[in-house]
């Protein structure tokens, strides 16, 4: 898609940005939005300023899929420093506690990490965007306040040791929605009779989006400067975020009903739940929900 340098455009699609260190998710979004001159943009799940890696940026009609991205499993590469803990759980906060660094071999750490596989509960950190009585927890934390937080269910589907280096360990982990890696690192260190904090955090995968699909801001800027267009390899189709969902194709009469927000009575060959909706020309038209009573309910209509 060609970028008009003089005006903002209705750009519809998804960009997988390799967010750089020190940048907030919103700032990264605004930088790309300005670069490609997009009228409307949002992101599908934020990253802390100190974290790097995959930030899903949705533009135009693609902003409608943002809420559905929050439930996806996410994969991170983590560097945990042992012997120190910080107020924030990452390198942004001051050191508040130290411990002896205990040196262990590969098998020891593999065993420790395996203990965190599967379902468990986790207490969110004070330095988080969760709210308590209408206030963000991190704002309360900055005032020195600590409030009770309810433990939440999480699931860790894989966790693999990547290396051991002096006072740090590196591992790759895939987690469910709502999992705080900073808390996980603290718990791993505690299991090994130490304290620790997240020194580096890099997100490499969200749902079906892969690390190889990411691009840096510099790469995007260079492509636009050289070609005057957003490369199709960079601007992904709106429905690319939903490819792990079943698909349903509608005939013209059904499509008109769907587009008008009317339920469609039919028996589609999909189980109940959300599905991608297409017309007979394979054009993506929306998100529907298949009910057990054989009704397809329109949930989102896309104007592409």
User: Residue 234: CB partners within 8 Å, gap ≥ 6?
Assistant: 15, 215, 219, 220, 223
| Residue-by-residue DSSP string for 270-285 | S-SEEEEEE-TT--EE
User: Residue 201: CB partners within 8 Å, gap ≥ 6?
Assistant: 48, 50, 51, 52, 53, 76, 77, 78, 79, 90, 181, 182
Q: How far apart are CA 151 and CA 123, in angstroms?
A: 4
State the alpha helices, DSSP H only, in 52-180: 66-69, 106-114, 137-142
Dihedrals φ, ψ of 68, to 5°?
A: -80, -15
Active site residue 48: yes
Residue with tokens 């924030």: 88
Choose the catalytic residue: 48, 218, 244, 279. Answer: 48
Q: How far apart are CA 185 and CA 15, in angstroms?
A: 29
Residues annotated as part of the active site: 48
């Amino acid at each position: 898609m060609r970028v008009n340098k003089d005006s903002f455009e209705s750009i519809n699609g998804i960009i997988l940005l390799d967010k750089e260190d020190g940048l907030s998710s919103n700032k990264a979004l605004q930088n790309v939005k300005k670069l490609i001159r997009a009228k409307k943009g949002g992101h599908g799940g934020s990253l802390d300023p100190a974290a790097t890696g995959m930030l899903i940026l949705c533009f135009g009609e693609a902003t409608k899929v943002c809420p559905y991205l929050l439930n996806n499993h996410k994969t991170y590469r983590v560097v945990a420093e042992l012997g120190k803990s910080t107020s924030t759980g990452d390198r942004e906060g001051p050191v508040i506690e130290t411990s002896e660094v205990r040196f262990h071999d590969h098998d020891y750490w593999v065993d420790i990490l395996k203990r965190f596989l599967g379902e468990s509960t986790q207490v969110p950190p004070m330095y988080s965007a969760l709210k308590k009585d209408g206030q963000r927890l991190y704002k309360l934390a900055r005032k020195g306040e600590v409030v009770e937080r309810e433990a939440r269910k999480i699931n860790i589907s894989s966790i693999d040791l990547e290396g051991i280096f002096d006072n740090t360990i590196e591992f790759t982990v895939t987690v469910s929605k709502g999992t705080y890696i900073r808390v996980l690192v603290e718990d791993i260190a505690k299991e090994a009779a130490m304290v620790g904090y997240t020194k580096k955090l890099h997100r490499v995968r969200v749902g079906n989006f892969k690390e190889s699909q990411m691009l840096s801001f510099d790469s995007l800027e260079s492509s636009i400067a050289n070609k005057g267009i957003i490369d199709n390899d960079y601007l992904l189709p709106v429905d690319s975020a939903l490819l792990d969902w079943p698909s349903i194709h509608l005939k013209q009469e059904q499509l008109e009903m769907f587009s008008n927000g009317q339920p469609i009575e039919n028996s589609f060959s999909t189980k109940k739940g959300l599905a991608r909706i297409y017309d007979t020309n394979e054009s993506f038209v929306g998100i529907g929900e298949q009910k057990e009573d054989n009704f397809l309910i329109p949930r989102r209509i896309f104007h592409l």
